[in-house]
Amino acid sequence: MKKAKKLLSLVAVFASLFGAAYAVDLRGLQDDQRVLLNPDKGWYHHFYDNGLDKYLSSEASIASIPNMHHLFLRFAWSFLEPEEGKFNWALIDDIVNKWNPKGVKISLGISCNETGLKYATPKWVFDAGAKGRIVKTRWGFEVAEPNCDDPVFLEKLENLHKAIAARYDGKPFIEDMTILSIGNWGEGHYWATFGKVVSWEAIKKNIDLYKRCYKKSQIVINNGVITSNLKSDEEQQVAREYVKKSKFGYRDDSILVAWHYFERCKNGTLPLVRTEYFDDIYPFAPATLELEHYHATRKSGSWKGANGSEEGAKVLVRTLRETHCTFLGYHGYAEQYIKDNPEFIKQAANLLGYWYFINSANFDDDGNLVLEWENRGVAHAFTRYRLFAKITGNGIDKKIPLLNADNRKWEPNTPVKETYSLALGDLPAGEYELSIGMKSSAKKDARVIELGLKEGLRDSDGFYRILKFKK
């Protein structure tokens, strides 16, 4: 309580009366060290990955990552539909039931090619006539690899996704549906099985399949689907425009991969395939990045020192900024990652997506409020949140929606001023406090959006007291 009163007195010091206008400089009351726990941004954890028994870190470890936004469920088609038309929904439902009450969402991707499993695409699909090849991976394991444009394969795949969509499309716990029907692990390339390329016509058939099935959930595609298969600039541009028109999100799974990292970074470029792909989607869809397996980054040296201080962190932060990354996955080994990188984890939790600060406020007795906002994250928000002013004092506790606020327009590191009109005519004479609060929606259970202001300024409703005024 003493701390809160001290902060309020500081607010009063910053507020000066010029006639009936109050100007408040809030920069001295900002907090850029505390991790803000906000929706629609943050870390994700690979829950199922390369099988059903990988990266199953302890629940406590996963939950200890600040702003753990979602779990990435990537598992083989054959696990979900071992027999045609018979689905093991528990693979998804059990995770949803355990984690969604904790505020953690799900990203869902069903893969058709896993290098540690012979039949990621179920054997019954091949038995039905789907064409493909049996091939050994670089590690000597035999896998059945379907032709991704085969009519039988596409028919059975669409039936699968129709069933998934009927059950999950548009559900609030679903962050996105990820296209994983092309390439090793769904990444678009066939590096692990000694290469082949897929035509744009084949890629488009898979894209259109997902578009037909998922009308509500965000669809995400790996940029490697395009870059690994389409070699001409003209063909890549056609594909990019189609993805953009479809309003898909992109993900890149190559971040800190050794050959990618050292070859590119020594030339001053970033350790990912193409930043311009993320520029394409930035107006309407979030970017997702996947880090190389943590043990591999430590072995190769693409991540060295506590919090990547010797190698990796500076490059990664630059990558987050230039891709406008909203979601970042550390790729398993949660316990070791937490132990080695506690400060970077916190830093990234704030940087990813949006990170809001109020620099100043101006208020007059006509009820005109001008706030200067600054987004210090690496991306704008893709959801329009609800902004409120609250006036308290003399028995008054009044919340006023600021309907013209639009946080989606607050671009990174570009201060923006918005003016709001508050009707004060019915207030009796006296002293009042003006507070600002933001919520994820107008619903009763909406999440409070935390701002980069000192915690002592925040009341029990999640509103931040920014100035005192007289009426």
Domain boundaries, the chain: 2-35+354-470, 42-351
Compute the average pLDDT of residues 251-258. 93
Tell me 430's DSSP state.
Answer: S
Query: 249 with 280: CB under 8 angstroms?
Result: no
Compute the average pLDDT of residues 409-415. 97
Tell me 22's DSSP state.
Answer: E
Beta bridge partners of 179: 221
Compute the average pLDDT of residues 275-285. 95
More confident residue, 51 or 72: 72
Cα–Cα distance measured from residue 320 to residue 96, given in angstroms and rounded to the nearest whole number = 28
Question: Which pLDDT score is estimated for 442?
Answer: 85
According to CATH, the topology of domain 2-35+354-470 is Immunoglobulin-like (2.60.40)
pLDDT tens track for 35-46: 999 999 999 998
Question: Which pLDDT score is estimated for 328?
Answer: 98
**Helix 151-168 and helix 200-213, axial crossing angle in degrees, nearest 10:** 30
Cα–Cα distance measured from residue 417 to residue 285, given in angstroms and rounded to the nearest whole number = 24
According to CATH, the topology of domain 42-351 is TIM Barrel (3.20.20)
pLDDT tens track for 129-140: 999 999 999 999
What pTM did the predictor assign? 0.94
Backbone φ and ψ of 260, nearest 5° = -70, -45
Cα–Cα distance measured from residue 84 to residue 278, given in angstroms and rounded to the nearest whole number = 37
pLDDT tens track for 325-380: 999 998 878 899 999 999 999 999 999 999 999 999 999 988 999 999 999 999 99
Question: Which pLDDT score is estimated for 17?
Answer: 37
Residue 285 has pLDDT above 60, yes or no: yes
Cα–Cα distance measured from residue 223 to residue 72, given in angstroms and rounded to the nearest whole number = 17
Beta bridge partners of 1: none
In sign, the C-alpha dihedral spanning 107, 265, 282, 411 is positive
For the chain, percent of residues with pLDDT exceeding 70? 95
Question: Which pLDDT score is estimated for 55?
Answer: 60
